[in-house]
Structure 1
Amino acid sequence: MLWEYARLDDETRIACSATRSDGTVRVVVERPRDGGLDSADCLLPQCRWKDVDGFSTAELAFLADFLHNNAPLIFDIAERHAEERNIA
């Protein structure tokens, strides 16, 4: 399950998973485009991109910087969701 973390001015949406068993957090980035979505998956803390469709190298660099600057909060949210999942 993913939870929306942020929505940028251009309608790019950033969502994160709960903390996974290996301590990583999956981040999914999507942006509307004609007939579909630009999308990319990122694994934190490594900030390793995969399945990138429609984002330029410069846009990925901006998003990587955004994720790096927001990582402490993203990990805090992800950990809370992991704890909620274990309680339920």
Structure 2
Amino acid sequence: MMYPFMTLNDETEIVHSDMNADGTVKVYIETPDKKDGFHNMTCYLPTYEIKEINGYSDKQVEEFVEIIKSTAHLIMEFAKEGGFEHASGF
């Protein structure tokens, strides 16, 4: 299952998976694009391994990785608890 984590001002959505048995978490980023439909990429925590980059520039990828790095502790915790709603008690 994928859980919403963050929506940026340009409508980019950042979502994450449950924590896998091996301790990894999939983070998926998707931005609507008028020409291509969507740009997207996948990052795996805790290694920050990037896969499947579609439509983003190197600079954009770097910026998204910085966002993920600065919030990885939250993403990992939420992934253990079944998303923000379960982790926050809502």
Same fold flag (TM > 0.5): yes
Q: State the identity as a percent.
A: 30
What is the total number of aligned residue pairs between the two structures? 83
1:66 — aligned with what?
67
What are structure 2's unaligned runs of at least 5 residues? none
Residue pairs, 1:47-86, within 5 angstroms: 47-81=48-82
Alignment root-mean-square deviation, CA:
1.4
- 5+ unaligned residues in a row in structure 1: which ranges? none
Q: Normalising by the residue count of structure 2, what TM-score does the alignment of the two structures yield?
A: 0.87
Q: Distance in 2 between matches of 1:67 and 1:51?
A: 16
1:1-88 aligned within 5 A? 1-34=1-34, 35-81=36-82
Q: 1:10: Cα distance to partner?
A: 0.6
Q: Please, what TM-score do these two structures have when normalized by structure 1?
A: 0.89
Aligned residue type for 1:65: E
